[in-house]
Structure formats: structure tokens, C-alpha cells
Amino acid sequence: MSKRTAIIIGAGPAGLTAAYELLTRSDIHPIVLERSTYMGGISRTIRHNGNRMDLGGHRFFSKSDRVMNWWLAQMPIAQEDEAESTDLRMLLRSRRSRIYFLRRFFEYPVQLTWDTLSKLGLWRTARIGLSYLRSVLFPIKPVNNLEEFFINRFGRELYLTFFKSYTEKVWGVPCQEISAEWGAQRVKGLSVTKTITHLLKKRFNGHHPRDVAQKSTETSLIEQFLYPKYGPGQMWETVAQKVKALGGEIHTGIDVRGLHCVDGRVHTWDRGTAR
């Protein structure tokens, strides 16, 4: 019997992970077809004039032990004395995300600290507080879209201040046209109450500087993450090299337009011109 083959379209994180897992956990031979000449899809790191630029931030963090262990099997965490001397390592970095609003930078996720409140001003802060209290006492029911989800979770004033324009700029769709389920997935357990609780725990209990898992912290509030030394694309370039070393195939410059199957198996594929 001939060896089984799997056709994988795309050399992004999912495609390369699938190829690697097939090679290490089965007898299936993977063939990865990638339209571009890069590895990693939108998680790639672009090299230009000697510089490396990430197409997206793509920080490495998961509460799944299996996922974290898989990443670290490819690229271990660098110890403090080897960060500069060893290239194939994950670096532990503090998170810093900010929103530019009112000509000032605000920490993101929005933190109810004195710095945030002073930048918002007394009147705007009072409106946000009263609006949140109203949402707690009189929540919208039923919740039909993302706008109503955000208003129930954070209050109308905070939603209009930070979440509405940011979300619509990122996704290009009005919040009224995005499902409430998307919001639950995107912000998970984040809320005003949990934000305040997190700040109080941090102030009085602190956190271990190398507590990578942070399992007791809401995902939206994590403060440190793993990052490959040369950007997220380094992870997928490394996995691609391992796939090839294990006997897998990765073909670039192939734009798959269609599949032709015979008896439930891929027989040929239509190939367009990759741009």
C-alpha cells in the first residue's frame, strides 16, 4: 500500500503545525502549498533593507499547556545570560499596548488607574462611572450585537470613548453588525470589575517576573508574553525547516484555485498565477 499523503493549503501557523504534527505523530506525508514565498502567513516577519518588521504583533501566549509546550519545544525560553548569544530562543517581554486618544496615550486594555482618570478628566470620568452603573442596574436584554454587548459590559460612555471607533477601524464593520458572540470571544472575561480586581491583586500581591503561564489572570489583562528573538516569523521559519528535514514538502509560489478529487482523495489541483 502506498504511503498516505495530505495536501495542506497555506504555510501559515495552522498549515505548518499540521504538517509537523503529521510527520511526528503519523505516517502521513504532508505537502504544503503556499501562494507566497514567505512562511507564517500574516504571522510572518518581513525582512527589508536589513530590518525585520512584523506584519502583526502576534505575541506568544496561551493558557493551554499543550500549546505552550509545543512552542517551547521549537524555541526554548532564553535564560538571562544567553539572550544575546543564542538566536533560536523565545524572549520573555513585558506587554505595553496603548491607545492614542485626546492627544494622549492611554494604556490598553483600559486600566482604571489614576493616570487614566486624570487624562480623562473629572467630568468625563464621572459620566463613565454613572453610565457603567446604569448598565449594571438596567442591562440591555436580549443582547443582539457587539455594541449592546460592550455597553452591558463597560457602560455606554466607556464604549463610545474607547471601544466603538477602535473596533470599527480594525474590522471595517459597524459594531451593530457584529454578533455579540464575537464580543464574548474577543474580550472573554474582561470587565470593569475584573480590571479593578486585577489592579488590586497586582498592587498587594505582585506577580512573579517569570510566571509565563499567568493562568490566574484574564487573557486580556496579561502583562508579559513570549516573543521569538527575531519576530514571530522566526517561529514559523524554524518549523518549516523542521518539516523539510523530516521529509515533508513545502512548495511556494502556488496559488491553489481548486481541487479535483477521485474516490474521496485529492487527485490534482488547479493552479493559478501567484502574485
Segment 174-208, tens digit of pLDDT:
999 998 887 777 665 555 555 555 455 555 565 55
Among 25-34, 47-56, 66-75, 190-199, the range with the most confident prediction by mean pLDDT is: 25-34
pLDDT of residue 250: 96
Q: Is the pLDDT of residue 244 over 80?
A: yes
CB 60, CB 90: distance < 8 Å = yes
Question: Rounded to an integer, what is the distance from CA 202 to the centroid of its chain?
Answer: 24
CA separation for the pair 190, 71 (Å, rounded) = 26
Is residue 115's pLDDT more than 60? Answer: yes
Q: Report the pLDDT value the prediction gives residue 195, as an integer from 0 to 100.
A: 54
How much is the pLDDT for 1? 44
Choose the final residue of a domain: 222, 243, 260.
222
Q: Using CA atoms, how far apart are residues 18 and 32, in angstroms rounded to an integer?
A: 10
- How far is 240 from 252, CA to CA, in rounded Å? 12
Question: Does one domain contain both 178 and 236?
Answer: no
What range does the domain containing 23 cover? 5-93+231-273
Whether 35 shows a pLDDT value over 80: the answer reads yes
Least confident of 34-38, 48-52, 90-94, 95-99: 95-99
Burial bucket for residue 240 (CB in 10 Å: 0-12, 13-18, 19+): buried
- Claim to verify: residue 165 and residue 242 sit in the same structural domain: no
- CATH of residue 43: 3.50.50.60
Query: Which is more confidently placed, 158 or 208?
Result: 158
Residues 170 and 66 in one domain: no
Ramachandran angles phi, psi of 36, nearest 5°: -90, -170
Query: Among 51-60, 107-116, 122-131, which stretch is predicted with the lowest mean pLDDT?
Result: 107-116
Domain finish residue from 188, 205, 222:
222
Q: How far is CA 109 from CA 113, 162, 203, in A?
A: 12, 10, 17
pTM here is 0.65
Same domain, 217 and 240: no
pLDDT tier at 253 (50, 70, 90 boundaries)?
very high
How many CB atoms are located within 10 Å of the residue 99 CB? 16
Residue 242: band (very low, low, confident or very high) from pLDDT cuts 50, 70, 90: very high
Same domain, 88 and 104: no
- Pair (117, 197) in one structural domain: yes
Task: Label the pairing between strands 224-228 and 29-34.
Answer: unpaired
Q: What pLDDT, on the 0 to 100 scale, is given for residue 256?
A: 86
Q: Domain count of the chain?
A: 2
Give 178 or 224, the one with higher predicted confidence.
178
- Do residue 117 and residue 163 come from a single domain? yes
pLDDT of residue 128: 86
Q: Do 101 and 88 sit in the same domain of this protein?
A: no
pLDDT exceeds 70 at position 129: yes
Whether residues 109 and 130 share a domain: the answer is yes
The rounded radius of gyration (Å) of the Cα atoms in the chain is: 23
**pLDDT, position 275:** 46
Both 139 and 29 in a single domain? no
Q: What is the three-state SS of 149-207?
A: HHHHHHCHHHHHHHHHHHHHHHHCCCHHHCCHHHHHHHHCCCCHHHHHHHHHHHHHHCC
Residue 132 sits in the same domain as residue 66: no
Q: Which of 20-29, 39-48, 88-97, 151-160 has the highest mean pLDDT?
A: 20-29
- Please indicate, yes or no, whether residues 125 and 186 belong to a single structural domain of this protein: yes
